[in-house]
Amino acid sequence: MLDDRDRKILAALQEDAGLSVADLAEQVALSLSACSRRIQKLEDAGYVARRIAVLDRGRMGVPTTVYALVKTVHHSDDWIELFRKVIADIPEIVEAHRLTGHYDYILKLVLPRVEHYDVIYKQLVRKVELFDVSASISMETLKAGLSVPVNYAE
- Residue 16's CATH number: 1.10.10.10
Residues 32 and 64 in one domain: no
Average pLDDT per block of 10 residues along the chain, 154 residues long: 94 94 96 97 95 93 98 96 98 98 98 98 97 97 92 90
- The 3-state DSSP class for residue 87 equals helix
**Residue 107 has what pLDDT?**
98
Residues 38 and 84 in one domain: no
Residues 72 and 95 in one domain: yes
**144: in domain:** no
| Residue 150 near residue 117 (C-beta atoms within 8 A) | no
Residues 39 and 76 in one domain: no
Total number of domains in the chain: 2
Tell me, yes or no, if the pTM score tops 0.85: yes
Residues 122 and 88 in one domain: yes
- The 3-state DSSP class for residue 123 equals helix
**153: in domain:** no
By DSSP bridging, strand 93-98 and strand 64-71 are unpaired
Residues 6+ apart with CB under 8 A from 68: 106, 107, 109, 117, 121, 133, 134, 135
**117: in domain:** yes
| Residue 58 near residue 111 (C-beta atoms within 8 A) | no
Residues 61 and 124 in one domain: yes
**111: in domain:** yes
Residues 38 and 63 in one domain: no
Residues 69 and 103 in one domain: yes
Residues 74 and 121 in one domain: yes
- The 3-state DSSP class for residue 127 equals helix
Residues 78 and 27 in one domain: no
Residues making up the chain, counted from first to last: 154
| Residue 63 near residue 57 (C-beta atoms within 8 A) | yes
Of 150, 118, 154, whose CA–CA distance to 137 is shortest?
Answer: 118
Residues 40 and 76 in one domain: no
Residues 35 and 64 in one domain: no
Q: Which residues constitute the domain of residue 17? A: 4-44
**33: in domain:** yes
